[in-house]
Amino acid sequence: MNRTKRKKSDVLRRLWKDYKLACVATVVLGLIILLVILSPVIAPYDPAAMDLAHRLEGSSPAHWLGTDSQGRDILSRLLTGGYTALLGPLCVVGIGLAAGVPLGLISGYTNGRADNMIMRVCDVILSFPAMLLALITVSIFGRGIRNTVVILGFFYIPTIARMVRSNVIVQKEQAYVEACRAIGFSAPYIMVRHILPNCFSTIIVQATLCMGYALLDISAMSFLGLGVQEPQADWGKLLADGKNIIMTNPILAVSSGIIIMITIICINLMGEALDAYFDPRRKKV
């Protein structure tokens, strides 16, 4: 019984030793997520509640971060704004993975005409900035956070598919795949049951990094007024609101920008740590 106890704290200690930054990042991110989840409870005001008598006020005991141009409490809007900012990237990356992983698997495994076609299409899509494609597509299909997420997710598919594909191609050369084929397993079975688990590490790292990008893109879309619509709050939208009043009350802009930055930094640090952890050159003790 003593032995298992020691193991757990040992693992934690080694995690701290090797990945200090990432541990801090995870804790910070966890805190942010917690605050956002609890926002209905802990937000001092209703984020949509307008109080035109107290517009554009600076920091005060009543409003810790002041109010915006419509008298809404900035702190509350900041807290609730996290919903779309945190869920959004998850959905975007989720869509990207849901379609990108199978595409990459098939593409990499078959390596024939289908692979060529898929890769060509991916290349064409990838050579254009996602932002741009999202802008144009949103103009066609309408704005709103739901469309934004779906469209962005769609445009992340090629990145993920490409990455999975190159991983699959490497795996295909391994001896165990040949062994599977010799035993007579079918291609889909090999792909899902054997090759896919070996790609997990790259997928996780890439997915983490994509979440950072997705957050940037969602915020950008909201900043342009194409993502989240009034009266909902979103960090990107708050940044846009903040820009308009930046001369009189910079708190809104600065605080929403900073929270976006901190979240992305945490995500990226975690991604880098995961990348270093899965690096085959790292000596595993």
Distance in Å, CB of 32 to another protein, minimum? 13
Distance in Å, CB of 135 to another protein, minimum? 6
Distance in Å, CB of 138 to another protein, minimum? 7
- Residue found under tokens 């193991």: 7
Residues, the chain: 285
Phi, psi angle pair for 67, to nearest 5°: -125, 160
Report which residue type is found at 9: S
Binding site for another protein (CB under 8 A): 124, 127-132, 135-142, 212, 216, 219-220, 223-226, 236, 239, 242-243, 246-247, 250, 253-254, 257, 260-262, 264-265, 268-269, 272, 283
Closer of 204 and 216 to another protein (Cβ): 216
Closer of 68 and 177 to another protein (Cβ): 68
Question: What is the CB-side half-sphere exposure of residue 96 using CA atoms within 13 A?
Answer: 32
Distance in Å, CB of 181 to another protein, minimum? 31
Closer of 36 and 209 to another protein (Cβ): 209
Angle, CA of 160, 275 and 125, to the nearest 5°: 20
Contacts of 188 (CB under 8 A, 6+ apart): none
Closer of 180 and 266 to another protein (Cβ): 266
Phi, psi angle pair for 73, to nearest 5°: -70, 125
Distance in Å, CB of 76 to another protein, minimum? 21
Closer of 82 and 212 to another protein (Cβ): 212
Contacts of 190 (CB under 8 A, 6+ apart): 109, 177, 180, 181
Closer of 161 and 180 to another protein (Cβ): 161
Instruction: Compute the distance between CA of residue 241 and CA of residue 231 in angstroms, rounded to an integer.
Output: 12
- Please tell me whether residue 67 adopts helix, strand or coil conformation: strand
Distance in Å, CB of 285 to another protein, minimum? 9
- Please tell me whether residue 69 adopts helix, strand or coil conformation: coil
